[in-house]
Structure 1
Amino acid sequence: MLPRVLAIAGSDSGGGAGIQADIKTITLLGAYAATAVTAITVQNSLGVAAVHLVPPDIVAAQVRAVLTDIGADAVKIGMLGHDATIDAVADALADFAGPVVLDPVMVAKGGAFLLAPEAVGLLSARLLPMAAVVTPNVPELEALAGTQVEDEADLLLAAQELLESGARAVLAKGGHLPGDGDEVVDWLASHEGNRRFASPRMATRHTHGTGCTLASAVAAGLAKGLPLERAVAEARAYVAGALAHAPGLGAGHGPLGHGWTLASG
């Protein structure tokens, strides 16, 4: 059977992030993408101009509609917006037994808030424990762990603190770390141990949707039955290729080249 991934996230009118990036990534990695849309955003490569939140009961109904018919082998959660949606999604997934990838989307690349600050605690309490892996960048990790992250050592320490708070595994992304190093370092921390991932840093402004793409790629790997470490390694390789093949669209933070695997044969 074709692996199935349910993506729960907001819509990006520019097509670079959110549910659009999820669908592209999941499909191009050989899985079936179903969706539950949590918000409609008005955005392009220059930033987010407006956000319209979908009523929480409609979000939950979308989740249940997919799970009771098409089904899912993995779930990816992205933008949720506020506390009522967090509760609705947590309730709708209460009986889901497969892996959940939680991308704790809080702030857009242009600076717009995509999760109410007062909802961070609820996200930690309700969704963090059910996630097979949570994939925070540095600002998100600081908010979730309640600690400052200034270097790679801090990155790993904060990830370990998040484990102690109830997370099952944490993929702490180091792309936002200060400094001009020639590599991007991520740490995968779990109760079985820690693994360091490093890749060359690319000098490009076309990075819109990297977090959504990475989380969806991990979810696609888990839906195929891959172990977490391998799913993360393959997801990072896919994102690196998408960054390298960005189409150069937009005057700001442009989208990735999600279809690079087709172009490269």
Structure 2
Amino acid sequence: MHGMSQRPFLKMHGLGNDFIVFDSRESPLAMTPALAMALADRRTGIGCDQLIVVEPSEVATVRATFWNPDGSMSPACGNGSRAVAALLGGEATIETGGGVLAASADASGAVVDMGVPQFGWDAIPLAYAMDTLSLPLAWEELENPGAANVGNPHVVFIVGDPYAVPLDVLGPLIEHDPIFPERVNVGVAALSSRSRMVLRVWERGTGLTRACGTGAVAAVAVAQRRGLADAQVTVSLPGGELVITRGDDGHMLMAGPATLAFTGSIDLEHFA
């Protein structure tokens, strides 16, 4: 006999950035920080970079809530939004903490409109006013990042070689710096041309991942704002490539794969 709390789930990923997805449109699911942490554990739970709860929405096709492995919530998740788009199929809108996103999906992957990046210091947010085009700040060899909010806060450093940066050490230092009252995601990027970028991201509340969709959008937005990049940039992440395109309206479109890895069911009472 299955317990009443036996819940189906999907395991999805975008470029190896992996998600547990609960479709709770028909039966509500009470997610908590402790439950999210337990399920995200790769040894004793299911394991994921983010956990996504898909719910009914009054303003969009669905509402998506994103949970980090540390039990915190993230208002926006680019790869996760592509996973939700792939789950829904076709044209859809997704209500998130960062706003309502328009999305479309077909066999080749999913495209999500991530909206217009915000560059105001108070929109990032920063603890006090400074120029977000090039913050007058440094953490060891990383200095003068650009800052952007693309549904969540990011700083982006343009570097010679993203893989030479000890991001596992500097990422948490920067994420938790008091200058970022809501913490921050940290990107290190190198442009090989005006249309190609290599990127690594330390994700707020998660750490190093195979890919970060909002990180790619933020890095391209910063590079474009500095005049270093064209309207369309292919971003190479450890897990693969995303294509970021700035439309004439300033909206940033993120295109890339979203893959169903497996489905299963789990007795959530074990994790209560």
TM over 0.5: no
| Structure-1-length-normalised TM-score | 0.30
